[in-house]
Amino acid sequence: PAASIAALAALARGVVVALDLPSGIRAYDAPVAGLGMPVRADITLSVAPMKAELFFPGYRESAGRIEEIAGVFPVDEEIGVQLLEPDDLHSLLPPLSPDTHKGNRGALGVYGGAVGTLGAAILAARAGSAAGAGTVTLMVPDELYATAASVLSAQMVRPVSAGNGRSFDALVVGPGLGRDGRASSRVADSWATDLPLVLDADALRLIRAREVRSSGAPLVLTPHPGEFAPLAVLASGMDPEDSAALEEARLRCRFDTLMVSRLVARAFGAVVVLKGSTTWLAAPDGRAAVWDGRNPAMATGGSGDVLAGLLGGLLARGLDPWDAARAAVIAHGLAGAACAERLGFFDADALPEAAASIVYAGGEHGNQG
């Protein structure tokens, strides 16, 4: 029946309005197999509480503009998801003291960079500063030290062989890292520390087992869908080389996003930030949030590296991982919207400066002590 309705709606010349959910969108926790194309609505009038499925990447386009109808049914707390809004940033960021100095704004370390991908690490380092970290140190392979040091002036640069040379308050590992033996060592070493840790990009592909950090220190994973699928397979106790399991995980990433994000968060004891046209966040305790900031101009290389750096900078400033992840996603999305409005399509190196003004303004009115 849903397929027939979808076919008829596609022929309609007027505005297509869906009530609650467009026909054909699967219910929460229903089997993924046998999915058909749902009705593509121009407007969805969603009876409160708004359904999480409306914001799953595989369904979001079908929902069109989403309007909430409140006061009809009681809120279902079990499946409740926070829909992140720009104004939430003020409540997540700590207030800025006029007497602050770099020593009490935190020190961030970034491990990344390889031949051909050094730019990713540089973007992450710059984004760490944009998030307000007092100092940022980028650690790169020895052969890339001179190049990185010639590009960055506000961030410190050290060759990996020299050690980090200082203590950090948080680490970001992965942007442009590569996947060789040296990269594996960086991931293993950082995993063993007791520092808040963001794993991004290549570092995520080097995770080979389902485990929680023995130190119990905060962990944030920031995969895009291609990096997420192997993590979901590991979280399910299966072999990440199993092609059938990977395909199932890819489907669930798009059409069962809430459940599979929570699964990965619990399995690794991590806050998960699943990047996409809609960005989903899940915590090990079941909390979940979504940023509905669809912006095609953000679909550019380096955008995710900036998000990782923003997140690391906020962790270095002392935010807990759930607050840091939500604040970073909002600031990143707002920065992308500002860049798109000003520039149209843009390179990711425009994002840190835009994000810096947004984070600063949010901190001026922050509500946290």
Per-residue pLDDT at 28: 47
Q: Which residues contact 81 (CB under 8 A, 6 or more apart)?
A: 52, 55, 258, 288, 289, 290
CATH code assigned to 88-364: 3.40.1190.20
Domains in the chain: boundaries: 2-76, 88-364
pLDDT in the model for residue 3: 55
Q: In Å, what is the CA distance from 281 to each residue of 55, 63, 273, 296, 301?
A: 12, 20, 5, 20, 21
Token digits of residue 302: 């380096």
Return the pLDDT at 130: 98
What is the pTM assigned to this prediction? 0.91
pLDDT at 31: 47
Give the pLDDT of residue 13: 62
At 129 the pLDDT is 98
Give dist(CA 181, CA 195) in Å, integer: 22
Among candidate residues 89, 24, 74, 20, the one with its CA nearest the CA of residue 52: 20
Quote the pLDDT of residue 100.
87
Ranges under pLDDT 70 in the chain: 1-13, 26-37, 71-79, 164-166, 364-369
